[in-house]
């Protein structure tokens, strides 16, 4: 029962984050919402693991936390520079 309450709250928060990601005027709003969505996904996986009595899901949550961080940094870098840093580091504004 308590896991179901937490699951519903997490899903509401994920919906709000998705709404901001769809609305967001700048790309940074979308990336911020994406980061929050990933954090909520980690919590969701952990709570589902407890709800169904399979704590092995926590390994997935752990991996997802790491992948989410790396993904956010990679998308951010791409949005800032327009490439992944192959050429050089200080040309901004390539995506006008």
Partner 1 sequence: MDLALDILSWICLVTGSIFAIIGGIGLLRLPDVFARMHGGGITDTLGAGLILIGLMFQAGLSLITVKLLMVLLFLLVTSPTATHAVARSALSHGVRPRVAGEEDGPSSL
Residue 48 touches partner 1, criterion: CB under 8 A: no
Size of the site for partner 1 (CB under 8 A): 47
Please state, in angstroms and rounded to a whole number, the distance separating the CA atoms of residues 71 and 2.
31
Residue 74 touches partner 1, criterion: CB under 8 A: no
Please state, in angstroms and rounded to a whole number, the distance separating the CA atoms of residues 56 and 3.
16
Binding mask 12-31 for partner 1 (x = CB under 8 A): xxxxxx-xx--x--x-xx-x
* Cα 87 → chain centroid: 28
- Residues of this chain that interact with partner 1 (CB under 8 A) are 2-3, 5-6, 8-10, 12-17, 19-20, 23, 26, 28-29, 31-33, 35-36, 39-40, 42-43, 46-47, 50, 55, 58-59, 61-62, 65-66, 68-69, 72-73, 76, 79-80, 92-93
């Amino acid at each position: 029962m308590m896991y179901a309450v937490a699951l519903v709250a997490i899903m509401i928060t994920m919906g709000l984050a998705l709404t901001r990601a769809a609305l967001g005027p700048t790309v940074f709003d979308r990336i911020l919402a994406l980061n929050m969505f990933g954090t909520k996904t980690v919590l969701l996986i952990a709570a589902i693991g407890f709800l169904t009595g399979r704590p092995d899901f926590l390994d997935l949550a752990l991996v997802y936390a790491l992948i989410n961080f790396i993904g956010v940094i990679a998308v951010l870098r791409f949005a800032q520079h327009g490439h992944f840093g192959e050429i050089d580091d200080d040309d901004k504004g390539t995506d006008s």
